[in-house]
Structure 1
Amino acid sequence: MKIWTVANQKGGVGKTTTTVSLGGILALQGKRVLLIDTDPHASLTYYFGIDSEQLEVSVYDIFARGTQMASEEILQSLCPSTIENLDILPATMAIATLDRSMGHKSGMGLVLKKALAKISEHYDYAILDCPPVLGVLMVNALAASERILVPVQTEFLALKGLDRMMRTMELMQTSQSKAYQYTIIPTMYDKRTKASLEAYKSLLDTYGDKVWPGVIPVDTKFRDASLSQKVPVEYCPKSRGVYAYKALLDYLMQLD
């Protein structure tokens, strides 16, 4: 099972859209895909019409019970999506308490990695949607991943958020003696604006081949797909945003 984490320490840059878009395309290609919500806001969970407040089991239980949770129990906590081959490990607001209640315990940074190892034979891909703050949830998501996908809105303030994300990865690489593979994804690109053009050029100048050479354009179809609780490739398969994510997926598969 390949594990990708979608992360950035700035909100509103397209993390959840990237997660559901790539996951949906992979599932329609016949891959078995698990999407994991590690954000207390539960945007990914609500995207699929899952009421996080009504869940009996969620990603919180994996942290609360740790290694005691058997593979069968983890699989039973998953929610199916509207399309075949795509499952969701949902989040609840309870995970917002993890830093305070469990962040001090030893081994907490590898809980998610160990849990995913138990169910790895059931999926081809796992994609983790990450919260925008550094804490036990982001640490777990980064530690579990083989590649980090960093969506960056093509505007000046988002570039500052990217600086923080790069420093976080450097710190974790040092503490874990692990070199992260990462890809920066320019999102919400509008070729009509000077801000997008200059931000994209700045990304390429600063990060070089770590930047995907394509862009994810501004596309209102993403919002419509979310409203319909369908992955973009299911709701608007011929939209320019979906074409862009298909190109991104092809690129990522070549890297791996």
Structure 2
Amino acid sequence: MRVWAVANQKGGVGKTTTSIALAGLLAEAGKRVVVVDLDPHGSMTSYFGYDPDALEHSVYDLFLHQGQVPQGLAAQLLLPTSHPNIALLPATTALATLERQAPGQSGLGLVIARSLAQLWQDYDYAIIDSPPILGVLMVNALAASQQLIIPVQTEHLALKGLERMVHTLRMINRSRQQELPFCIVPTLFDRRTQASMSTLRVLRDVYPDTLWQGFVPVDTRLRDASRAGQTPSQFDEKSRGVIAYRALLKHVLTRQLAPQAV
């Protein structure tokens, strides 16, 4: 299994869309994919038609055992999605209470890594949709992943979130045995606006070695796919957004991302 985390310390940059778009493309290539919703808002869970406020069980259950994960629990929590090759580990709003519980428990930072280890033989890829806040959930996502994808909205305020994310990655790398490779992905790009154009230039100047040179454009078909509860490529495989994500997936799969100094 290959484990990718999608994270940024700013909301609204396209993390959930990126996670599901990549999962959908992998699934259509015949890969078995598990998507993990670690955001207490449950955007990924809602995307696939489940109510994060109403689910009785979720990824939250994995954190209730003093940092250990009972054998078989991760598989019991999986839910089906619109694609037969994609399974969901859903979120509930109870995840928001973990930060208050974390000081009293040890080993919480490796819960997701231990959970995915139980699914290792059953899936080819795991894609983790992370919350936009540095805490036990993001630490879990980064600790479990082999590669990090950082979507960045092409507008000036998003650059600050990227700076915070790179700083967080620097801290996480100190505790890992090897540095976590990452790829910065410009999203919500609108070439008609000066903000998008200038932000893309800044990204290319400041992060030349870790930036994907393409971009994901603003595309209403991505929003329509979300409303339909389908992956973007299921909904409209020829949309501009899907074409961009297909190019991104090819980049991630074919380029052996070496660890970068941050």
TM-score (norm 1): 0.97
Unmatched runs of 5 consecutive residues or more in structure 1:
none
Aligned partner of 2:71 in structure 1 is: 70
User: What residue in structure 2 maps to residue 11 of structure 1?
Assistant: 11
What's the CA shift for 1:204? 1.0
Structure-to-structure mapping, 1:130-209, within 5 angstroms: 130-209=130-209
**Gapped regions of structure 2 (runs ≥ 5):** 257-262
For 1:191 and 1:7, how far apart are their aligned partners in 2?
A: 24
Gap change, CA 1:241 and 1:68, over 3 Å in 2: closer
Asked if the contact 1:217/1:244 (under 8 Å) is kept, the reply is yes
Measured after TM superposition, the shift of residue 139 of structure 1 is 0.3
Q: Secondary structure at the match of 2:53?
A: helix
Task: Report whether the alignment pairs 1:237 with 2:227.
Answer: no
Aligned partners of 2:44 and 2:129 also within 8 Å:
yes
Residue type of the partner of 2:105? Answer: K
Match of 1:122 in 2: 122
C-alpha separation in 2, matches of 1:181 and 1:230: 29
Once the two structures are superposed, residues 120-167 of structure 1 have per-residue CA deviations (whole angstroms, 9 ceiling, x without a partner) of 100000000000000000000000000000000011000111000000
> Which is further off, 53-62 or 178-187?
53-62
Displacement of 1:104: 4.2
CA distance in 2, matches of 1:142, 1:224: 30
SS of the residue aligned with 2:127?
Answer: strand
The separation in 1 between residues aligned to 2:177 and 2:69, in whole angstroms, is 27
CA shift for structure 1 position 115: 1.1
Q: Percent identity?
A: 51
Q: What code does the residue aligned with 1:69 have?
A: P
Following superposition, the deviation at residue 176 of structure 1 comes to 3.1
Q: What is the SS of the residue equivalent to 2:112? A: helix
- Hey, what's the Cα distance between the residues in 2 that align with 1:219 and 1:85? 25
Gap change, CA 1:136 and 1:164, over 3 Å in 2? same
Shift of 1:249: 0.3
Match of 1:32 in 2: 32
Partner of 2:260: none
Tell me if structure 2 keeps the 8 A contact 1:39–1:130: yes
Structure 1 range deviating more: 189-198 or 12-21? 189-198
Secondary structure (helix, strand or coil) at the match of 2:111 reads helix
Please list the CA deviations of residues 194-243 of structure 1 after superposition, one character each: whole Å capped at 9, or x if unmatched.
11111111111101120001100010111111111111101111101000
Q: Is the 8 A contact 2:8 2:165 kept in 1?
A: yes
Q: Verify the 8 A CA contact 1:103 1:136 in the aligned structure 2.
A: no
User: What is the deviation of 1:53?
Assistant: 2.7
Aligned to 1:46: 46
Distance in 2, Cα, partners of 1:56 & 1:69: 18
Larger mean CA deviation between 37-46 and 112-121 belongs to: 112-121
In 2 relative to 1, CA 104–173 (structure 1 residues): closer, same or farther, beyond 3 Å? farther
* Counterpart-to-counterpart distance in 2, 1:151 and 1:103: 30
Q: What CA distance in whole angstroms lies between the structure 2 residues aligned with 1:74 and 1:144? A: 14
Say which structure is richer in helix: 1
Offset of 1:106 from its aligned partner?
2.0
For 1:21 and 1:13, the matched residues in 2 are separated by: 14
| 3-state secondary structure, aligned to 1:39 | coil
What is the CA deviation profile of residues 56-92 of structure 1, one whole-angstrom value per residue up to 9, with x for unaligned ones?
A: 3210011112424212x32121011111110100000
Q: How many residue pairs align between the two structures?
A: 255
TM-score relative to the length of structure 2: 0.95
